[in-house]
Structure 1
Amino acid sequence: MQRKVHAVGRTDIGRVRSTNQDSMLVENETGLFVVADGMGGHAGGEIASRICIEQVKREVASKIDPELVQSVKSHPDPALLQALANSINYASARIYEHSLEDPSLRGMGTTATVVKIVEDYAYCAHVGDSRFYLVRSGFIYQLTFDHSLVNEQVRAGILTPEEAEVHHLKNVITRSVGYQEEEDVDTLCVQLEKGDLLVLCSDGLHGKINDAELSQIANKRGTASVAELVDLANDRGGEDNITLIMAEVR
Structure 2
Amino acid sequence: MIEGRHFAAATMIGARKRQEDGWSVQLVAGDGTGEELLLAAVADGMGGLPAGDQASRITIRSFVGSYPLITKPPPERLRPALNHANQAMREAIEADPSLRGMGSTLVATLFFEDRFQWLSVGDSHIFHWRGGALERVNPLHTYGRELDARAGRGEISAMHAALHPERAAITSAVMGLPLEEVAEGQVDLADGDVVVLASDGIETLSDEETAAICGGHRSAGASRIAAAIIRRIEQRATPWQDNATVVVVCPSQRSPANQGGGAAAGVD
TM-score w.r.t. length of structure 1: 0.83
CA distance in 1, matches of 2:228, 2:130: 20
Name which of 28, 31, 36 aligns with 2:43: 36
Where does residue 226 of structure 2 map in the other structure? 226
Q: Is the 8 A contact 2:103 2:174 kept in 1?
A: yes
The aligned residue for residue 114 of structure 1 is 108
**Displacement, 1:244?**
0.5
Q: SS of 1:119's equivalent?
A: coil
TM-score by length of 2: 0.78
1:167-206 deviations in whole A, cap 9, x for unaligned?
643431000012415453211001111100001111111x
Number of positions where the alignment pairs a residue of Structure 1 with one of Structure 2: 230
Whole-angstrom distance in 1 between the partners of 2:183 and 2:8: 24
Report matched runs for 1:135-214 at 5 Å: 135-157=129-151, 158=156, 160=158, 164=162, 168-205=165-202, 207-214=203-210
Matches of 1:239 and 1:192 in 2, distance apart? Answer: 32
Shift of 1:159: 6.5
SS of 1:110's equivalent?
Answer: coil
> Taking structure 1 as reference, are residues 183 and 155 closer, same or farther at Cα in structure 2, changes over 3 Å only?
closer
CA contact (8 A) 2:49 2:101 kept: no
Pair member with larger Rg: 2
Contact residue 10 and residue 246 of structure 2 kept, 8 A: yes
- 1:31 aligned counterpart, secondary structure: strand
Consecutive unaligned residues in structure 2, runs of 5 or more: 28-35, 253-268
Q: Which amino acid aligns with 2:21?
A: D
SS at match of 2:6: strand
Indicate the RMSD between aligned Cα atoms, in angstroms.
Answer: 2.4
Deviations 1:54-77 (A, max 9, x none): 111122222277xx35xxxxxxxx
Deviates more, 1:210-219 or 1:34-43: 34-43
Match of 1:244?
246
Residues 112-164 of structure 1 show CA distances to partners (whole Å, capped at 9, x for unaligned) of 00101133210001100001111011111111000001122123324659x74
Matched, 1:59 2:59: no
Tell which deviates more after alignment, 100-109 or 41-50: 41-50
Identity %: 31
- Say if 1:159 and 1:232 are closer, same or farther in 2 by CA, change over 3 A: farther
Partner residue, 1:49? 56
- Would the alpha carbon gap of residues 38 and 192 (structure 1) be closer, same or farther in structure 2, given more than 3 Å must change? same
User: Hey, which bits of structure 1, 4+ residues long, moved more than 4 A?
Assistant: 40-43, 158-161
- Is 1:124–1:187's contact at 8 Å kept on the other side of the alignment? yes
Aligned to 1:19: 18
Distance in 2 of aligned mates of 1:201 and 1:168:
24
Q: Aligned in 2, Cα 1:198/1:210: closer, same or farther, shift over 3 Å?
A: same
**1:9-51 CA distance string (max 9 Å, x none):** 112211x211101000122564010010012668611111111
